[in-house]
Chain A
Amino acid sequence: MRKLAIVALVLAGGLIWAAIVWIMVRPGALTGTSRVVNATTQVIERGEYLARVGDCIACHTAPGGTPFSGGRAMPTPFGNLYASNITPDDETGIGQWTADDFYRMMQKGLARDGSLLYPAMPFAAYTKVTREDSDAIYAYLMSVAPARQKNRPHELRFPFNKRELLIGWRTLYFKEGEYVPDPKQSAQWNRGAYLVEGLGHCSMCHTAINRLGGSSEEQAFEGGMIPNQNWYAPSLTSNQEGGLGNWSVKDIADLLQVGVSHRATVYGPMAEVTYNSLQYLTDEDAAAMAVYLKSLAPGDAPPAVTSTQRLTQPAVLEMGRKVYLEQCVMCHGNEGKGFPPAYPPLAGNPSITMATPVNPIRMVLNGGYPPGTRKNPRPHGMPPFLHILSDDEVAAVVTYIRVAWGNAGAPVTPPQVNELRKLLPE
């Protein structure tokens, strides 16, 4: 116990010391003349495309608000953050920022005055973006209509409201630097890696976030619960979850860009990403991301759970089968094959069998529509069943689809369903 206290003291002391050093040496605003971006129509259009790939609009726009004018609440375990106004308004937006200011923000996570940004802004990913791409995004943002809207102060609990302490977070979790292509890989793979690790900031959800709000490099893309949204972002490295090692490049690219594929469909937070961002990918970029994502997962697939864990009570299975035949069979078929891409298959769909059953339970409770995209503007939807099925029935039917047709998932329990039933769908 005493040992622990000493460790804690040393840690706290170190953090305070780091914060003091930071305060003494922190960079202020940039001085001198900035590089001037030649904002041709072509550059602005490229910037618009890249801003979409980076999905700036999703966080920097309040529901029903002017695009990029900020104000959207970002609930975090540490309190609410409010995204800033990034329209070129001189007083309330980034109208006075230079291209250098913007690049420093992307690369180092520093605001114009040199203060530290909270890592809800994915600068740990954006640091990989090239100067040229940063300049194009800057040119595009400077071209949108300025909106006068003051930034709303964050509502973080002590001590998280002390920005200086972010120096600790940065030491642990932030590695600055542009993407370095891997010469052993193809140009297409490198393009995909650049987009996935950089602007796409996929790791923000698909790498587990720990209690300090950081994600470690060793666990990159291994999946995690999305804080405050209660959806599980599957691992991209395990074929048992969202791992795409066995998928065709076409199916992966479709999932990202179209929102539906012959293997699975996006819902929840990923539907938002496809709607706001990935649907605008060029076919080449979608394929590049797919090639890179496919390479993250090894091809072999040992069973996720042991046969003991998969043991299911016959009565539960029978109840699940009954519910399935009554409510689900119309769209997902007798053999769970679905009618892809309209209705996704359940057999062999890793989203159904993942160790964490949150996503399939939520889908049964709340239903869902894939995003309406340029290539699939009229998606087929699934209705909610929370007002029709009891906790026992939902648990039974989710258990059934996790073990039927050769699926290798573990059963779920009524209390697991009940926990999720209490949440508002989002």
Chain B
Amino acid sequence: MTRAKNPFSFLVYAAGAVVTGAWLVAAAQPLAQNAAIPAFKTLDSIEARVQGCTTCHGQSGQGTKNDYFPRIAGKPAGYLYNQLVAFRDGKRRYAPMNYLVAYLPDAYLREIAEHYAKQRPAFMLHETVPADPASLERGQTLARTGDPKKGIPACISCHGANLTGMEPGVPGLVGLRPNYIAAQLVRWRVGERVAADPDCMKRIATRLTDADVGALAAWLARQKPPADALPESSDVARMPLACGSQR
């Protein structure tokens, strides 16, 4: 497998450099690290079977202190399933994930997805990227109202008023780290990450500037998770663009 040179990787590195010193909030939570050590109660259980996920995504999918691995708990099962299948079939590329799920059948990937969709662990506190007020305001505008002149819909129109996602295929954005958010938007823009056709995120990501990506990552990562992080129920009529993953 070759890694295409990502022309926008500087963004990710830049974000990484900024936050390196700042992640103490997460480290201050002892739970974060212990929850990444393999542990289970019953051998014949889905909990024991998914120990392969724990050192990166945590025991309940809450994420770990590593600044890249995302929270997967509570994301809609359809979204998680689509990602697992895409990793298995090489359509989403991240070598450690591609390797782990390479030989797992659909039904099992579905079961793993449903397992993590049901988890409701506490949100981990994590670092934020320093950003100037203008940038944060731009991030908020893009997230809440979008930029109609550039054809960019608001994040909340699909990802939910509380950014907790929408059944069955739109992921929540709360609880994700700025690095991860920026990296995904950039990967979408350069065509390294794709979703089912029509790929609405590709249309949106290609309309974002570098500054927009940075503003969104900074603003989104600062949002407080709601008490109830349930994804919203499916509402295709409300969505501004046609998205293959909502079919």
Distance of A424 Cα from B2 Cα, bound (Å): 9
Q: Which segment of B92-100, B128-136, B162-170, B232-240 sits at the interface? A: B92-100
When A64-B89, A369-B52, A379-B49 are in contact, do A331 and B38 touch as well, CB less than 8 Å? yes
Smallest CB separation, A62 vs chain B (Å):
9
**Shortest beta-carbon contacts, A-B, top 9:** A381-B52, A371-B103, A275-B103, A425-B99, A383-B55, A63-B90, A424-B95, A372-B105, A372-B104
Candidates B36, B44, B56, B104; contact of A379 at CB < 8 Å:
B104
Q: Is A385 an interface residue (CB 8 A)?
A: yes
Query: B90 — which chain A residues lie within 8 A by C-beta?
Result: 63-64
- By a beta-carbon cutoff of 8 Å, the part of chain B in contact with chain A is 1, 3, 36-40, 43-44, 46, 48-56, 66, 89-91, 95-96, 98-105, 107-108, 111
The answer to whether B95 and A387 touch across the interface, beta carbons within 8 angstroms, is: no
The answer to whether B104 and A385 touch across the interface, beta carbons within 8 angstroms, is: no
Smallest CB separation, A208 vs chain B (Å):
25
Q: Is A310 an interface residue (CB 8 A)?
A: no
Candidates A274, A377, A387, A424; contact of B108 at CB < 8 Å:
A377
Q: Is A326 an interface residue (CB 8 A)?
A: yes
Q: Is A165 an interface residue (CB 8 A)?
A: no
Chain A: which residue is nearest B52 at the CB level? A381
Chain B: which residue is nearest A266 at the CB level? B103
Smallest CB separation, B8 vs chain A (Å):
21
Q: Is A272 an interface residue (CB 8 A)?
A: yes
Smallest CB separation, B139 vs chain A (Å):
29
Which chain A residues (394-425) contact chain B, with CB distance < 8 Å? Answer: 424-425
The answer to whether B96 and A366 touch across the interface, beta carbons within 8 angstroms, is: yes
A-B contact pairs, 22 of them (CB 8 A): A63-B89, A63-B90, A274-B103, A275-B102, A275-B103, A327-B37, A342-B43, A342-B48, A366-B100, A368-B99, A370-B103, A371-B103, A377-B107, A378-B111, A381-B49, A381-B52, A381-B100, A382-B52, A383-B55, A387-B55, A387-B66, A388-B36
Distance of A255 Cα from B91 Cα, bound (Å): 30
The answer to whether A385 and B55 touch across the interface, beta carbons within 8 angstroms, is: yes
Candidates A366, A381, A387; contact of B53 at CB < 8 Å:
A381
Chain B: which residue is nearest A330 at the CB level? B38
Distance of A32 Cα from B36 Cα, bound (Å): 68
Smallest CB separation, B99 vs chain A (Å):
4
Distance of A385 Cα from B54 Cα, bound (Å): 10
The answer to whether B53 and A383 touch across the interface, beta carbons within 8 angstroms, is: yes
Interface bin, chain A? 20 to 34
Distance of A221 Cα from B134 Cα, bound (Å): 67
Distance of A379 Cα from B107 Cα, bound (Å): 12
Query: A387 — which chain B residues lie within 8 A by C-beta?
Result: 55-56, 66
Query: A63 — which chain B residues lie within 8 A by C-beta?
Result: 89-90
Chain A: which residue is nearest B109 at the CB level? A372
Smallest CB separation, B44 vs chain A (Å):
8
Candidates A274, A331, A370, A377; contact of B51 at CB < 8 Å:
A331
The answer to whether B37 and A272 touch across the interface, beta carbons within 8 angstroms, is: no
Smallest CB separation, B70 vs chain A (Å):
14
Chain B: which residue is nearest A327 at the CB level? B37
Chain B: which residue is nearest A368 at the CB level? B100
The answer to whether A327 and B100 touch across the interface, beta carbons within 8 angstroms, is: no
When A377-B107, A383-B38, A387-B56 are in contact, do A426 and B43 touch as well, CB less than 8 Å? no
Query: A366 — which chain B residues lie within 8 A by C-beta?
Result: 96, 99-100
Which chain A residues (344-401) contact chain B, with CB distance < 8 Å? Answer: 366-372, 377-385, 387-388
Distance of A425 Cα from B44 Cα, bound (Å): 28
Chain A: which residue is nearest B66 at the CB level? A387
Name the residue among B44, B46, B48 with the largest chain A CB count within 10 angstroms: B48
Q: Is A339 an interface residue (CB 8 A)?
A: yes
Chain A: which residue is nearest B34 at the CB level? A326
Distance of A272 Cα from B50 Cα, bound (Å): 20
Given contacts A326-B37, A387-B55, 20 further A-B contacts (CB under 8 A): A64-B91, A272-B103, A275-B102, A330-B38, A330-B40, A331-B38, A342-B48, A366-B100, A368-B99, A369-B52, A369-B101, A370-B103, A381-B51, A381-B100, A383-B55, A383-B56, A425-B96, A425-B98, A425-B100, A426-B99
Candidates A64, A271, A328; contact of B103 at CB < 8 Å:
A271
Candidates A326, A327, A339, A371; contact of B43 at CB < 8 Å:
A339
Chain A: which residue is nearest B3 at the CB level? A424
Query: A369 — which chain B residues lie within 8 A by C-beta?
Result: 52, 100-104
Distance of A360 Cα from B29 Cα, bound (Å): 32
Query: A425 — which chain B residues lie within 8 A by C-beta?
Result: 95-96, 98-100
The answer to whether B51 and A383 touch across the interface, beta carbons within 8 angstroms, is: yes
Name the residue among A64, A383, A388 with the largest chain B CB count within 10 angstroms: A383
Query: A326 — which chain B residues lie within 8 A by C-beta?
Result: 37
The answer to whether B102 and A272 touch across the interface, beta carbons within 8 angstroms, is: yes
The answer to whether B50 and A381 touch across the interface, beta carbons within 8 angstroms, is: yes
Distance of A274 Cα from B81 Cα, bound (Å): 23
Query: B56 — which chain A residues lie within 8 A by C-beta?
Result: 383-384, 387
Distance of A382 Cα from B36 Cα, bound (Å): 12
Smallest CB separation, B7 vs chain A (Å):
20
Chain A: which residue is nearest B99 at the CB level? A425
Query: A388 — which chain B residues lie within 8 A by C-beta?
Result: 36, 55
Query: A367 — which chain B residues lie within 8 A by C-beta?
Result: 52, 55, 100
The answer to whether A380 and B95 touch across the interface, beta carbons within 8 angstroms, is: no
The answer to whether B95 and A426 touch across the interface, beta carbons within 8 angstroms, is: yes
The answer to whether A327 and B38 touch across the interface, beta carbons within 8 angstroms, is: yes
Distance of A383 Cα from B99 Cα, bound (Å): 11
Smallest CB separation, A375 vs chain B (Å):
12
Chain B: which residue is nearest A279 at the CB level? B103
